[in-house]
Amino acid sequence: MQRFAVGIEFNGAHYRGWQTQQSGVISVQETIEQVLSKVANEPIMLHGAGRTDAGVHATHMVAHFDTHAIRSMDGWLMGSNSQLPKDIVILWIKAMDTEFHARFKAQARRYRYVVYNSPVRPALLHKQVTHIYASLNIAKMMQAAKKFEGTHNFESFRAAACQSKQPVRTVSHCRLIQHGAYLVLDIQADGFLHHMVRNIMGCLLEIGQEMYDIDHIDTIFAAEDRKAAGVTAPADGLYFIHADYPERFELPKPALGPLWLNMPE
């Protein structure tokens, strides 16, 4: 039995999220598993670094699988990509020992959320960014984003359906980057709750529209109630960027992704 790690890029617009669900619901995980199973000529189960909601994208999702099949690296890579739909691609594959686990060995996960702030919607970026036509106080949003750094109870910022046993997370950085009409929220934490990033972005957008002052974030944290946090931002602008692992695993570096996603910090 050999374990392989893979790096995956996908456009999630046509999928009901990463995780395999009930029959008849198309997920990214199941789509890749079906192709890998054909290449391996045996059932393959894929384990991802994290889960993504319906419509959420990834530039560098890390996953792993075990197999008895013997194939060259090019055989795995080319054989899989030739059969995958055009909105999913395996970027690389690497043989690993069984100590590696895509989910449990991840030390941190990083997301970026992209907003296109303009009176006119962007046709070419449909389902790839969230369009906000209203004028925003960007400086205020940048200052507010820093409020989420550190260790907090994110009970108010998780979905009611979240299955995590506890809501405390440590955010190593949370910053807003502006480049022309693009606003990119860059956030990294030891883990994320269901809808956590989208709820944080929803809060920042409300602050940017002068609906609340920055200190209102403290009130939301203190409430420990989802109803206190306001709207959930759409899935369209959210990207799983990468997961951090111990250096000993020597995984390939994250893909750059689209230029409009990788704004200077």
Q: Give catalytic residue positions.
A: 53
Among 11, 20, 26, CA closest to 61: 11
- For residues 12-29, one letter each, b for 16 or more C-beta atoms within 10 angstroms of the residue's C-beta and e for the rest, the string is beebbbbebeeeeeebbb
- SS3 state at 59: strand
Place of tokens 């609340």: 212
Q: Which residues are CB-neighbours of 75 under 8 A, at least 6 positions away?
A: 39
Interatomic CA distance for residues 18 and 161, integer angstroms: 16
H-helix or E-strand spanning residue 169: strand 168-179
